Chain A
Amino acid sequence: MSSIGSGYDLSASQFSPDGKVFQVEYAQKAVENSGTIVALRGSDGVVLAVEKFIQSKLHETEVQSMTRLFHIEEGIGASVAGLLTDCLMLVEYARDEAADYRESNGVRVPLKVLANRVADYVHAHTLYSAVRPFGVNIILAAVEADVGPQIYMVEPSGVVYGYSGVAAGKAKQTAHTEIEKLALSRTPCEELVKEAARIIHVCHDETKDKAFELEMSWVREGMGYERVARDTLMKADSYGKKALDDTDSDSD
Chain B
Amino acid sequence: MPTEFTSLDDLSIGLNELSESGEKDLFYSPVSDGTTIIAVQYDQGVILGADSQTSRGRQLVSTKTRFKLARLHERIFCGTSGRCADSKAVLEVIKNRLHLKGIIEDSAPRVRVAAHIASKLCYEHRNNLETSLIIGGWDPVEGPQVYAIPIGGMMTQLPVAAGGSGSTYIYGYIDSMYKPGMSREECIRFVSNCVSLAMSRDSGSGGVIRLVAIDKDEANRMVLAGDEIPKFYQG
Question: Is B110 close to A, CB under 8 A?
Answer: yes
Indicate which residue in B107, B116, B120, B140 contacts A107 across the interface (CB closer than 8 Å).
B116
**Nearest chain A CB to B130 CB, angstrom units:** 23
Which A residues touch B120, using CB under 8 A? 104
- Using CB atoms, name the residue of chain B closest to A109: B105
Task: Give every chain B residue within 8 A of A112 (Cβ-Cβ).
Answer: 105-106
Assess the A113–B112 pair: CB atoms within 8 A: no
Give the size of the chain A interface in residues (CB under 8 angstroms).
9
Interface of A is mostly: loop
* Size of interface on B: residues with Cβ below 8 Å to A: 14
- A17 at the B interface (CB under 8 A): no
The answer on a CB contact under 8 Å between B107 and A110 is: yes
Complex-state Cα separation, A145 to B119, whole angstroms = 24
- Whether A105 contacts B116 by the Cβ 8 Å rule is yes
B115 lies within 8 A of chain A by Cβ = yes
Contact assessment for B141 and A146 in the assembled complex, using a CB-CB cutoff below 8 Å: yes
Q: What residue of chain A has the Cβ atom nearest to residue B139's Cβ?
A: A146
Q: Are A145 and B113 in contact, CB atoms less than 8 angstroms apart?
A: no
Chain A residues with Cβ below 8 Å from B112 are 106-107
A residues in contact with B115, CB < 8 Å: 106
Tell me how far the C-beta of B116 lies from the nearest C-beta in chain A, rounded to whole angstroms. 3
Asked if B106 and A107 sit within 8 Å, CB to CB, the answer is no
Contact of A146 among B104, B113, B140 (CB under 8 A): B140
Complex Cα distance A184/B44, Å? Answer: 33
Q: Which of A190-243 contact B (CB under 8 A)?
A: none
Q: Sample 20 A-B pairs with CB under 8 A, ordered by A number.
A: A104-B116, A104-B117, A105-B116, A105-B117, A106-B112, A106-B113, A106-B115, A106-B116, A106-B117, A106-B119, A107-B110, A107-B112, A107-B113, A110-B107, A112-B105, A112-B106, A113-B104, A113-B105, A145-B141, A146-B141
Q: Which 7 pairs from chain A and chain B are nearest by CB?
A: A106-B116, A105-B113, A146-B140, A145-B141, A146-B141, A113-B105, A107-B113
